Amino acid sequence: MNTTNMPPLLSKPQRLSIKFSISRWDLLRCRLWVVAHNQVLVLFMIVMSVGLPLLTVFSPSMSAQSLAFRIFYVVFVTAIMLCVMAAFQVVMMFLWMIANKNRGVLGVHEMEIRDDGLLERTSVNESLHRWSGFHKLGSTRNFLFVFVTDNIVYYVPWKAFASEQDAKYFRDEIQRRAQAA
């Protein structure tokens, strides 16, 4: 048999849907990542952490101190304030996670890329997000973050994909369809 005239074998089609599960621990980690990447919140924390010590540096009692002490004071108090605000965020997020049932967020999800948009299903809801309203993608080493709007984020664990190629295809397909819309 002459193999030079044979058409190539078609490869298995890439999956356009995935199933995955989100636990409370996953949700806490993902929400903390989203908060840490919220530019408005980060800017507010920096302005408050630097602004308040700078205001006290110009008080009469601090004017008598050396320049080195005042610089140390601003750096030290800024670091303390940033740590306190970050710890407050973590504690509040943790308490919020305990207090809420988070139905529709925790548990099994199915996400499907369709021509008309990105479909997400859980045991309590089904949402179709049109490509024209799509916002952006983000990722960490454990999760793909699908921002379907400014405020709605889906957390997709990379372990939900059979292979790295499937994960890359899924992410690239979302990006391609969103940009085409």
Task: State the number of CA atoms in the 13 A half-sphere of 76 facing the CB.
Answer: 7
The predicted pLDDT at position 11 comes to 47
Q: What pLDDT score was predicted for residue 13?
A: 47
pLDDT confidence of residue 5: 58
**pLDDT value, residue 6:** 52
Helix orientation angle between 67-99 and 39-57, rounded to the nearest 10 degrees: 140
User: Could you state, in chain order, the average pLDDT of each consecutive group of 10 residues for the chain (181 residues)?
Assistant: 51 71 89 86 90 87 88 93 91 85 86 92 92 90 90 91 91 92 80
Count the residues in the chain: 181
Contact between 90 and 28 (Cβ < 8 Å): no
For 18, residues 6+ apart whose C-beta sits below 8 A from its C-beta are 110, 111, 156, 160, 161, 170
Task: Note if the pTM is more than 0.85.
Answer: no
Query: Which domains does the chain possess?
Result: 17-22+106-180 (2.30.29), 24-99 (no CATH)
